[in-house]
Amino acid sequence: MSDHTAASPCDDNRGWRQSITAFQRASNIRAAWQIASTLVPYGLVWCAMYFSLAVSWWITAPLAALAGALLVRVFIIFHDCGHGSYFRSRAANDVTGFVAGVLTLTPYHQWRWEHAGHHSTAGHLDKRGTGDVWTMTVQEYLEASRWKRFAYRLARNPAVLFGIAPLLFFAVIQRFPSAKASLRVRQSVWWTNFAILLVTIGFCRIFGPADYLLIKAIETTVGGAAGIWLFYVQHQFEGAYWQRQDRWEYSAAALRGSSYYKLPAILQWFSGNIGFHHIHHLSARIPNYRLQECHEADALFSQVRPLTLRSSLKSMGLHLWDEQAGMLVGYARLRRIRNAPAKLGARR
């Protein structure tokens, strides 16, 4: 058992429910300030990019990357609105969420519906596939066809996951409603697409089509890659939690299956405190601007071993869930299994 798992003795719910209650109240003032401190810099960066085009793309491109970093913070605002935790008013959450969704190319109601599924099934081996990173068990991988194994390795390849996937997912896939979506959710996708089209036309007239689309592509790729990395490392790390139906527990999935990603202050600001993911999964009603307070308010949460930037890089070598060992493992484990037929027979 890893240090992260061993340092999470909170699975019996002792006191944590009472500890989080005080932090489930939204603050309109803090929410408004966070929006201002995000959108004002974001707008200034776009103004700077407009003037930089007359100087050099060597200035514009880094500014576009900075806009992408700010877009991560915009997405966290969008994310909290989807949970109904950002403002006290549902209408304020919905309006802000829709606008932030247009900026991040994400339809608000569809994402809210799908993300709710992620929170109710995180770490559940029998309910994978809802808003999570594709994760196979060792046995499933061994029994899969050659094509499925290739597709799995490709999907989890860093160049694809953090290079191609961000632009493909946010610019293309999010333009289409889910086949299982309700009418309201489908309409949310179409209205978001219409608003994005209007914004695109307007900015193409200001910047020129080629320049604007290239800037937006850089911004979306950088912001999307950072967002996918955060989502990936928050559930794919050494000591992560996965269980079958008969052993799965909500609090254990939150405290052991969601990382406490301890980031430097500047990265914590850009990522909207989402590194306190264990607290977020305990209660999605806690707005991002109160996650750190909640974490620090109870000594129980301080026992959760943090995941650092350095240690999080190990996650890239973890690909499959080994049910026998109860841990994420790399592809190297497969070679040992193939070289030990007796063990493989025991697994089956």
pLDDT tens track of the chain, all 348 residues?
444 444 444 444 556 677 788 899 999 999 999 999 999 999 999 999 999 999 999 999 999 999 999 999 999 999 999 999 999 999 999 999 999 999 999 999 999 999 888 888 888 999 887 778 899 999 999 999 999 999 999 999 999 999 999 999 999 999 999 888 899 899 999 999 999 999 999 999 999 999 999 999 999 999 999 999 999 999 998 888 899 988 988 888 888 888 899 999 999 999 999 999 989 998 999 999 999 999 988 877 877 888 999 999 999 999 999 998 889 999 988 877 766 654 444 455
User: In the 3-class helix/strand/coil scheme, how is the chain assigned residue by residue?
Assistant: CCHHHHCCCCCCCCCHHHHHHCCCCCCHHHHHHHHHHHHHHHHHHHHHHHHHCCCCHHHHHHHHHHHHHHHHHHHHHHHHHHCCCCCCCHHHHHHHHHHHHHHCCCCHHHHHHHHHHHHHHCCEHHHCCCCCCCCEEHHHHHHCCHHHHHHHHHHCCHHHHHHHHHHHHHHHHHHCCCCCCCHHHHHHHHHHHHHHHHHHHHHHHHHCHHHHHHHHHHHHHHHHHHHHHHHHHCCCCCCCCCECCCCCCHHHHHHHHCCEECCCHHHHHHCCCCCEHHHHHHCCCCCHHHHHHHHHHCHHHHCCCCECHHHHHHHHHCCEEECCCCEEECCHHHHHHHCCHHHHHHHC
| Closest among 223, 291, 346 to 27, alpha carbons compared | 291
Q: What is the pTM of this model?
A: 0.89
Model pLDDT, residue 15: 62
Model pLDDT, residue 258: 87
The single residue listed with the structure tokens 């794919």 is 236
Residue 286 to residue 103: CA distance in whole angstroms: 23
Residue 16 to residue 26: CA distance in whole angstroms: 19
Strand order in the sheet with 327-329: 136-137, 320-322, 327-329
The single residue listed with the structure tokens 């790399």 is 330
Residue 206 to residue 246: CA distance in whole angstroms: 58
In one-letter notation, the amino acid at residue 280 is: H
